[in-house]
Amino acid sequence: MSKYIQNKGFTLIELLVVISIISLFASIVFASVNSARNKARYARAQVEINEFVKTAVIAQGEIGSRLQDITGSGCSECVCRGWDIRNVAVTSSCYTQWVSALNTIQGATGGIVSGLNLMTRDPWGSPYLLDENEREAGPTDCRLDTIRSAGPDGIRLNGTDACTGDDICYLGIPHARWCP
C-alpha cells in the first residue's frame, strides 16, 4: 500500500478558476443581450416616430391645415422639458398633452390611420414629444414641426430645438403649405 492517499476531488484553486471563467462568460453574454435590447428600443422608437410623421402628413392633407391648428397647441411638449418624464403619471400634463395631440391627429386623418393612439409612450416609458412650431412666429417663419423621444434618460433639454444627447428625433415634419 502506498504512503500517499490519492484524492479524486478538485482543489479550492481549481474550483475558483472555473467559477471565475464562468462568471466572465456570463458577464459577456449579459452585456451582449443588454446591447441588443437597447438597439431594439432605439429601432422601435424610430419606427414609431416615422409612423407618426406619416400620420401627421396625412392629417395635414385631409384637414388642409398645420399641425398647430389641428392640435390647438404650438408646443405640446413644452410642459415636459427639463425633467425626467420616464413613467410619468397618466394624469401629468406632459402625458395628457401628448395623448390629446396623438388622438386629435389620428382623428384628423378621417379614418385613414388607426392604431396610432396606442403609441402613448416610447420604449423607455416616456411620452413622445411633439413641438408644433411651424410658422408660429408668422408667415415667414420656416421652422419645422418636430417629434422626438427623450431616449433612455427620459429628459428633454430646455432651450434647444436640436436633437441632443440620447434623444431620437425627427426634425422637420413636412409643412402643410410651402414656406416662403
178 located within any domain: no
167 located within any domain: yes
1 located within any domain: no
7 located within any domain: no
Residues 65, 120: Cα–Cα separation, whole Å: 24
What total number of domains does the chain contain?
A: 1
CB 74 within 8 A of CB 132: yes
Question: Which domain, by its residues, includes 107?
Answer: 12-173
4 located within any domain: no
Residue 16: Cβ within 10 Å count: 11
pLDDT confidence of residue 6: 67
pLDDT confidence of residue 164: 72
pLDDT digits (tens, 9 = 90+) for 105-141: 999 999 899 888 889 999 999 999 999 877 666 666 6
CB 145 within 8 A of CB 131: yes
Residue among 84, 171, 85, 180 nearest 133 (CA): 171
> What is the rounded end-to-end Cα distance, in angstroms, of the chain?
103
In this prediction, the residues of the chain whose per-residue pLDDT falls under 70 are 1-7, 135-142, 158-162, 175-180
